[in-house]
Structure 1
Amino acid sequence: MMRHFQQWPYQRAEQKPLINGMRKARMRLRLAISPAAAIQAVTEIQALLGIYQSQSAVARIRHDQKTDDPFYTAEQAYYDQTDARVAQETQAFYTAMLGSRHRMELENHYGSLIFRKAENLREIVQDKIVEDLAEENRLASDYLQLMSAAAIPLDGKVYTLAQLEPLLQSPDRQVRQAVHRAEADWLASRAASLDALFDQLVSVRNRISSRLGLASFIEVGYKRMERFDYQRSQIEALRQAVVRYIVPLTGEIRRLQRRRLNLDALNYYDLPCLFPAGNPQLQIPLASLPDQTSRLLASLTGQDPSFLRRLSDSGCLDLEARPNKAPGGYCETIVNAGMPFILMNASGTAQDVTTLLHESGHAYASLCSLPDLTLLEYRQPTLETCEIHSTALEFLSYPLMEPFFGSEAENYTLMHMTETLLFIPYACMVDEFQHVIYEQPGLTPEQRHQVWQNLECRYQPDLNYGDDSFYNKGGAWQKKQHIFVSPFYYIDYLLADLVALDLWHTSRKDPAKAWKQYDRLCRLGGRDTFLKLLEQAGLASPFDIGTIKKVAYAACDFLRL
């Protein structure tokens, strides 16, 4: 039986021996007299990177579990600095591989994708920006630290942002109005700090693009995301299609919601409450959620006990929200242990089921690809494909919701589909906001807020903030972690949603075929580019206008719009 995560030994991956080892591996690659010797050099650097990635993952997870722990806070700061140096040495090694006399044999052995990745890495990681990369990491960590420390007073109690979630969707309008106001007041009290922090992030990212000789940080962002087989113009066309085909549906959803809630007008604090008696409630104790989800996954995968049971038993699942825990949720694979770790902030809402299934999709894909791992770079695909792994599992689980929600199982699926359609324009808004910001890095904080307000009018035309000054001034974007921490990631959720919806549409007629396609995509790992992976799994491209039309029609039919 695997040792519990909290008992796993941790030792800092010290920079000096690591860098020396990476340089020795690079020298062996350059001096290799045979293809076998060159492959051995690649194996050596892979082993070093495996140790580094595994130890840094353990440190970061433990930091996120308790962000006020001084030891792991210091370790987080160490890796924020060291990541940039490791990226620099990794780039140097792969640049040497590009020029190796044994390149043909290496390409035959590892495939051509690693060379494409190497060329891309050479463009975006250079000696002259190492300090800037470290600064960018530090500022991103500062944002997470600030948000995780949120302590919001309400009715004599103190809440984190995650702990407010059940109250934000209360069926009692006065309660949810008060809770939204408390959240907005806390954000308003931090708005100047968040503006200053984002100013610094935009500045350092703009400096990175300038030093790399690129027109803007947008180019850096696309290269970081390894978007090898689609362009910015395709993203822009997709956003336009969302305005044409999805935004009108969200207007109808809000109109019907207003009627269900018997309100003259929907205010922003009404939006999370979709049903007059409240959103579907989890019918099992939160502590039972992992076991019930494990049974669901065993049914879908045919593996009993499920992989989630192994994660839970080994302490690789941290479920509930608590003070000083990093916000959000994620799945991080600890490569050398061969185990994913799921961290989330469950608060007793239906969203907890969605989040656990979402992160379980990441974990399943990770476990599928690990046994056939030839290179760490092939462990997972680019992030839009990763988000299909996670999002599609949410949809494929629709027929198995009764144990979680009882008689409200159908309402849960209706709510989930509704929230997916409402999310799609929001994802476009976050993406377009970042394009504007990094195309015009000199914008003032006030101008950035105005950009956000303009985008709200385009993508969320039914939004009504009433007399809330924070949101009326365009402050809502400051809540979105990805804008600070993961630039240009957010549109990947939209791409994944469209593919996942198409897979769900298939599952309504042929569940076995849909699962086979999903499983195939997971097992392909990261051995090809986004659109080629979709093709190999028999899945439609989200850039095909027919895809968005088809899923919009199917969702309308499901929701009876």
Structure 2
Amino acid sequence: MKFSEFSYKRPDLAFAMAQMDTLAHSIQNAQTVSDAKSAFLSFEKMAEEIRSLSSICYVRHTVDTRDRFYEQENAFWDENLPLFMDKQLDIYRAMLASPLRPALEKEFGRLLFDKMEIDVKSADPSIIPLMQEENSLQTQYQQLYASAKIPFDGKTLTVAQLAPYKQNPDRSVRKAAFEAEGRFFDENQEKFDEIYDKLVKNRTEQARRMGYENFIPLGCIRMKRNGYGVLEMESYRKKIIEEMVPAVCELKKVQQNRIGVDSMQYYDDTFLFPDGNPLPFGSSDEILAAGQQMYRALSAETAEFIDFMFDSQLFDVLAKEGKAPGGYCTYIPSHKSPFIFSNFNGTAGDVDVLTHEAGHAFAAYQAAKQNLLPEYADNTLEACEVHSMSMEFLTSDYHHLFFADQTEKYQLFHAESAVFFLPYGCMVDEFQHIVYANPEMSPRQRN
């Protein structure tokens, strides 16, 4: 079945949540492991359908944020997913408090209960209205970003479509492209700042109602981190400063000499070669076809996976007006189907996305084949990036399918870009820590 044929109908969540109340009661009062297991698996089956409909709606909304029907459906989920999650946590609390827990841990594994313990610390009924508002604010931000119509080169472009100009060999074109993008954000700065300011205050209030000093520990919990926390993140950032920043500075000097500029400017940062960055040859369809050829050659498992993705049309990759920014992989459990969303724009980033997001998708596809519980199939976010980043490098023997005589240039570009990302990623992380540790800061102070 193709993704376009996946049916969508708004579920009766009131009925589903009433059933979840009954199942939580059944787990609480179960006299046997079999009874508790049966009630829990009944919840999982019901939740699978609800999560699937939510995912289908999200994909179709982000593919075209102007679609009125899915805009309304997305608003429905923004309001109702926190209510559903609250009932899910009731199920988890019943499992955690069950006198049968030792036997249930043997049945399902201790990690399931560790994950439940983390999740029940992430929310409670008192913050549901705030969670609903948080969802709405995130949607507003995404729609504002997707609304970009940037006049440039006689065209009207989205932020994603402007990207090739920001890597143009002509330095004046790069500068003009960055300035054109900047004008969009300058013109909408007040709106972006207002949304973000509301998000910071909202999340801070959620955290304080939950008994946390600020949003930082609650944010870690919501990322399902069970092996490290704030101290470990600070230690990691310190190591990056000590060991990677000097290396990046040296690489930037090499880049400066390579591209032949007297001083590096912001519009030179992602321009790595004097004759231009490596570009994949062919149309978007040809890039996808090369990707299919690559995964067919990589292994029997990836061949099966990529053919399933193509047969079911589980991609939407072209940048277009009204489409949400960025790229992601999501999963539709009732169809055992990953879905890859991207914004191809003719740069090397198209191949990066095809390998990166396919790493996520392949992990989801393999987990589905094992019929794992969702709590096991859904990885914590740092583990997810092992799947995606490793796939970027595991496919290196096949980069010639996309770049031909520019393959070596692309591999250097890809390796350097991965190193450059390390301090950038830590900078973003530290910025978030500063913002949420100081929620009283004004938008001007944050900027």
Place the TM-score, normalised by the shorter chain, in its bin.
Answer: over 0.9
CA distance in 2, matches of 1:289, 1:374: 32
- The Cα shift of 1:249 comes to 1.5
- The Cα shift of 1:390 comes to 0.5
Identity of aligned residues (%): 35
- The Cα shift of 1:231 comes to 2.4
- The Cα shift of 1:119 comes to 2.0
- The Cα shift of 1:175 comes to 1.0
* Pick aligned residue for 2:154 from 134, 146, 156: 156
* Pick aligned residue for 2:263 from 262, 265, 285: 265
CA distance in 2, matches of 1:283, 1:304: 23
- The Cα shift of 1:145 comes to 0.7
- The Cα shift of 1:187 comes to 0.8
- The Cα shift of 1:374 comes to 3.8
- The Cα shift of 1:99 comes to 1.4
For residue 122 of structure 1, what is the aligned residue in structure 2?
Answer: 120
Gaps (5+ residues) in structure 1? Answer: 450-561
* Pick aligned residue for 1:201 from 199, 202, 205: 199
8 Å CA contact 1:295–1:306 kept in 2: the answer is: no
For residue 240 of structure 1, what is the aligned residue in structure 2?
Answer: 238
- The Cα shift of 1:303 comes to 4.1
SS at match of 1:12: coil
For residue 507 of structure 1, what is the aligned residue in structure 2?
Answer: none
- The Cα shift of 1:102 comes to 1.6
TM-score calculated relative to the size of structure 2: 0.98
CA distance in 2, matches of 1:297, 1:312: 12
Amino acid at match of 1:241: K
CA-to-aligned-CA distance 1:211-244 (integer Å, 9 cap, x gap): 0011110010111112211121111111111111
For residue 364 of structure 1, what is the aligned residue in structure 2?
Answer: 362
For residue 403 of structure 2, what is the aligned residue in structure 1?
Answer: 405
What are the equivalent positions in structure 2 for 1:437-516 lying under 5 Å apart? 437-449=435-447
* Pick aligned residue for 2:273 from 254, 272, 275: 275
* Pick aligned residue for 2:344 from 330, 346, 349: 346
CA distance in 2, matches of 1:14, 1:133: 20
CA distance in 2, matches of 1:371, 1:108: 22
- The Cα shift of 1:430 comes to 0.4
SS at match of 2:274: coil
8 Å CA contact 1:147–1:327 kept in 2: the answer is: yes
SS at match of 2:7: coil
CA-to-aligned-CA distance 1:415-472 (integer Å, 9 cap, x gap): 00111111110100000001111111101111111xxxxxxxxxxxxxxxxxxxxxxx
For residue 422 of structure 1, what is the aligned residue in structure 2?
Answer: 420
For residue 285 of structure 1, what is the aligned residue in structure 2?
Answer: 283
CA-to-aligned-CA distance 1:254-279 (integer Å, 9 cap, x gap): 21122122211111111221101100
CA-to-aligned-CA distance 1:368-422 (integer Å, 9 cap, x gap): 1112234211112211111110111101112211121111101101000111111
CA-to-aligned-CA distance 1:81-127 (integer Å, 9 cap, x gap): 11100111011111111111221221111111222222222222111
8 Å CA contact 1:166–1:349 kept in 2: the answer is: yes
CA distance in 2, matches of 1:33, 1:381: 32
- The Cα shift of 1:209 comes to 0.7
CA distance in 1, matches of 2:303, 2:138: 38
8 Å CA contact 2:214–2:436 kept in 1: the answer is: yes
SS at match of 2:168: coil
CA distance in 1, matches of 2:47, 2:435: 34
CA-to-aligned-CA distance 1:56-86 (integer Å, 9 cap, x gap): 0001101111110010001111111111001
Gaps (5+ residues) in structure 2? Answer: none
CA-to-aligned-CA distance 1:285-332 (integer Å, 9 cap, x gap): 221111211111122223474422321221211111000011111111
* Pick aligned residue for 1:190 from 188, 191, 197: 188
8 Å CA contact 2:281–2:287 kept in 1: the answer is: no
TM-score calculated relative to the size of structure 1: 0.78
For residue 11 of structure 1, what is the aligned residue in structure 2?
Answer: 9
For residue 80 of structure 1, what is the aligned residue in structure 2?
Answer: 78
For residue 391 of structure 2, what is the aligned residue in structure 1?
Answer: 393
Classify 1:114/1:319 alpha carbon distance in 2 versus 1 (closer, same or farther; 3 Å): same
CA distance in 1, matches of 2:265, 2:246: 19
For residue 213 of structure 1, what is the aligned residue in structure 2?
Answer: 211
Classify 1:221/1:405 alpha carbon distance in 2 versus 1 (closer, same or farther; 3 Å): same
Aligned pair count reads: 447
The root-mean-square deviation of aligned C-alpha atoms, in Å, is: 1.2
8 Å CA contact 1:290–1:308 kept in 2: the answer is: no
Work out whether 1:43 is the aligned partner of 2:38.
no
Classify 1:420/1:304 alpha carbon distance in 2 versus 1 (closer, same or farther; 3 Å): closer
CA distance in 2, matches of 1:234, 1:103: 31
8 Å CA contact 1:294–1:307 kept in 2: the answer is: no
For residue 29 of structure 1, what is the aligned residue in structure 2?
Answer: 27
CA-to-aligned-CA distance 1:465-506 (integer Å, 9 cap, x gap): xxxxxxxxxxxxxxxxxxxxxxxxxxxxxxxxxxxxxxxxxx
CA distance in 2, matches of 1:119, 1:408: 50
- The Cα shift of 1:40 comes to 0.5
Work out whether 1:224 is the aligned partner of 2:215.
no
Work out whether 1:102 is the aligned partner of 2:90.
no
CA distance in 1, matches of 2:103, 2:222: 27
CA distance in 1, matches of 2:236, 2:399: 32
CA distance in 1, matches of 2:81, 2:196: 21
Amino acid at match of 2:84: V
For residue 321 of structure 2, what is the aligned residue in structure 1?
Answer: 323
CA distance in 2, matches of 1:304, 1:40: 34
Amino acid at match of 1:30: Q
SS at match of 1:23: helix
For residue 375 of structure 1, what is the aligned residue in structure 2?
Answer: 373
SS at match of 1:158: strand
Amino acid at match of 1:251: C
Amino acid at match of 1:268: Y
Amino acid at match of 1:163: Q
